[in-house]
A = this chain, B = another copy of it.
Amino acid sequence: MGRTKTVLSRHVQAGMPIMSRLYDVIVIGSGVGGYTTAIRLSQSGLRVLLIERKLIGGECANYGCVPTKALYSIAKSVRQLRVARFSISWSGNPLEFAREAAAKAREGIAYLLDRYGVEIVYGEARVARNAVVKVLTKNGRVEHYEYRYLVIATGTEPRALPNIPIDEITVLSNRGFLNLDELPSSVIIVGGGAIGVELASILANIGVKVRIVEVAKDILPGMDIDIVRTVKRFLREQEVEIFTSSTIEEILKTGNQVEVKLSSGPRIQTEKILIAIARRPQTRDLGLEEINVRVDSQGYIVVDSYQRTSNPKVFAVGDVTGPPLLAHKALIEGRIAAHTILGKKVVGYLNREIVPVAYFTIPEIGSIGLSEDAARKRGYKVRCVKIPVTVSSRAFIEGCEGGFIKIVMDETSGSVLGLHMVGPNASELASVGLEIIERKLELETVASRPYVHLTAFEILRELAETVLGEPVNIYIPKR
């Protein structure tokens, strides 16, 4: 593409003739996938328009990772002091801190977009033929913008259950939950997936009575069985009640509380209900059919490994392209899309099966690659080695007894298929899995490395030594 750096003002002027509303790239959605793609393209000299319906930063900055991590940092600290057998009393508003963290992230992103010269328009976008995007702005105007390339980064949105409409008063989405004045005394979390379990563990540690209601037989579907078992044990310790194979049948108001009747029998009093079931892609009202952009049966946009859709002028990045729904996957997809549009060599094709995953439960979950079960189903002759995280004193210090690290290997080739952990800094270790699985860092090398004492890395080293038959900080009798 040609470099078409313009000297136009950054913010779009109303009443400009339509022909000057031509952009090199229009990006729809300012979440992690969208804002990073927009900045990358703009800093390379393209004229970029970013269209945002609500808040700059999207789900991750405003309602997802960032505020959740803020809550996590509080919950982890409170628990750590309890582990040290401190008696503590605290006053403060965790939700306020979470909202401030979100605001800081949002403002930071807005600053970056401004400095990098990305133009922004607020409103609902709808694509049309002839490379035009119509925007219904907040004040009711319809504006038209033209693009050479379009990047769709509209993400996902919370879903409600058919019989439990979200009113954001008693029945909340993650967005409504975060906007509560203060923490409720009790909450039923509907959905035992990543978001539900993460929030359950966090909230339980800061004084909220938490129940998880999950329709499936178990929580954390798709996760390695050892992660599921271990996290359930920690949740129970944290007094989270888990109701599996259960749905909410009925909700009765009873003063400040509601009474919830579960399909499995129990009736539960609770102050709030948080819906954390699988989300859905925001592709329905975009007009994608007009421009021949194909979506799959669930509504996710189908892309190739360059993030190209079925329309050669249109790219899609982030959650709207399907699982794994992770901010860091969105960021790398945005990088690939930007480099492709710019005609750069794309380094680091994204293998969606080897994206590290971390959940900030207490302790943390880190996971990358295939679970033991998935590896077996694919026909591998599987070898698994699992050791407790207590091979490092750090695990005792942080109250992580019961946590583990586990490696899933193909016994035939010796190659590593998956790495799973529940324990200190598992969120960091998940990324190390990229070295081991993708870049073939050998376990012999891992075992011989002076990884820092009392970090997650030393737990990995001990795992490698165990695989090699030379564990030192755990006793394994010779067979």
Which residues of A are in contact with B by a Cβ distance under 8 Å?
32, 36, 39-40, 43, 60-61, 65-66, 69-70, 73-74, 76-78, 80-81, 83-92, 94, 96-97, 101, 104-105, 108, 111-112, 115-116, 326-329, 331-332, 335, 347-348, 350, 355-358, 360, 366, 390, 393-394, 396-398, 425, 427-432, 434-435, 439, 441, 444-445, 447-458, 470, 472-475, 477-478
Closest-CB distance, A217 to chain B (whole angstroms): 28
A478: which B residues are within 8 A, CB to CB? 43
A83 to B97, CA, bound (A): 9
A78 to B470, CA, bound (A): 39
Q: How many copies does the complex hold?
A: 2
Among residues of B, the one whose C-beta sits closest to the C-beta of A456 is B428
Closest-CB distance, A431 to chain B (whole angstroms): 4
A70 and B397 form a contact (CB under 8 A): yes
A104 to B70, CA, bound (A): 31
A90 and B88 form a contact (CB under 8 A): yes
A449 and B101 form a contact (CB under 8 A): no
A-B contact pairs, 16 of them (CB 8 A): A36-B472, A66-B393, A73-B398, A85-B96, A88-B88, A101-B393, A116-B475, A328-B452, A328-B453, A329-B450, A357-B452, A358-B452, A427-B455, A428-B428, A431-B451, A431-B452
A425 to B84, CA, bound (A): 21
A77 to B78, CA, bound (A): 7
Closest-CB distance, A435 to chain B (whole angstroms): 6
A453: which B residues are within 8 A, CB to CB? 32, 60, 65, 326-328, 331
A451 to B97, CA, bound (A): 25
